[in-house]
Amino acid sequence: MSAALVTGASRGIGRGIAVALAEAGLDVIVNYASNAGAAAEAAAEVERAGARAAVVQGDVGDARDRARLVDEAYAAFGDIALLVNNAGVAPSVRADILEASEESFDRLVGINLKGPYFLTQLVANRMIAAGTPGKIVTVSSMSAYTASVNRGDYCITKAGLSMLTKLYAARLAEHGINVYEVRPGIIATDMTGGVQEKYDRLIYDEGVTPIRRWGTPQDVGRAVAAIARDLFPFSTGQVIDVDGGFHLRTL
């Protein structure tokens, strides 16, 4: 059985991805930042789906944590066939870009962009050294191309992940490593819990997503599982929108 390392797998989208991968037959390293209880629950769900789970704490924004995370992930199951860069944070305060702080910008860049960039570098080098084909999936957002002026820092990090995907796809193809970007739309998780009423109105009353419902962590998990099942062998650098059609322009 091959294994997947999923960052931020304790809750929300990451947990949905972890369980979908377990159902697809992969063992899962469940990474989390601070919520050990949620990580243990996610691991139990992975095991109920018939796979093995290993829980590894680690802040993806911290270089030493990233190195330890990769060491412990390889120690757990011997090999990593799939890295899923999912962990990410929203700004603590949604502030207009004319007022937003450098502190928030640095925090988001560190966790959402620098973290996946260098975690991918670490895992890619291990995959190359192992000589076995692997896959890398990065969870960005519709914010990669949608300007929300009250969370510019978040949008910039997600736009950066689109280039991360292109760069690593171009660099790693010769090593048999395909790289994908999965772009969720509005997904029901803790992250969107505080803005539920706003998005209820946008989805159900205004039809901002042609498919008029909230997305779920399972929706995103199924897209990542399709990649894990090797259903896109001749595609790399590809973006998969999981957004109920939000990205469509209509007239």
Closer by beta carbon to ligand NAP, 10 or else 165: 10
CB of 150 to ligand NAP, least distance (A): 15
CB of 175 to ligand NAP, least distance (A): 26
How many other C-beta atoms are found inside a 10 Å radius of the C-beta of residue 190?
A: 11
Q: Is 237 left (phi over 0), alpha (psi -120 to 50) or beta?
A: left
Contact 180, 227 (CB under 8 A): yes
Closer by beta carbon to ligand NAP, 35 or else 150: 35
Residues 6+ positions from 195 with CB-CB distance below 8 Å: none
| Adjacent-strand bridge partners of 180 | 137, 238
> Does the active-site annotation cover 154?
yes
Burial of 111 (0-12, 13-18, 19+ CB in 10 A): buried
Query: Which member of 32, 117, 145, 154 is catalytic?
Result: 154
In the numeric block, which tokens belong to residue 159? 């736009």
Closer by beta carbon to ligand NAP, 173 or else 198: 198
Binding site for ligand NAP (CB under 6 A): 7-8, 10-14, 31-35, 38, 59-61, 86-89, 111, 139, 141, 184, 186-187, 189-192
CB of 152 to ligand NAP, least distance (A): 14
Closer by beta carbon to ligand NAP, 9 or else 127: 9
CB of 231 to ligand NAP, least distance (A): 22
Query: Which residues are catalytically annotated?
Result: 154
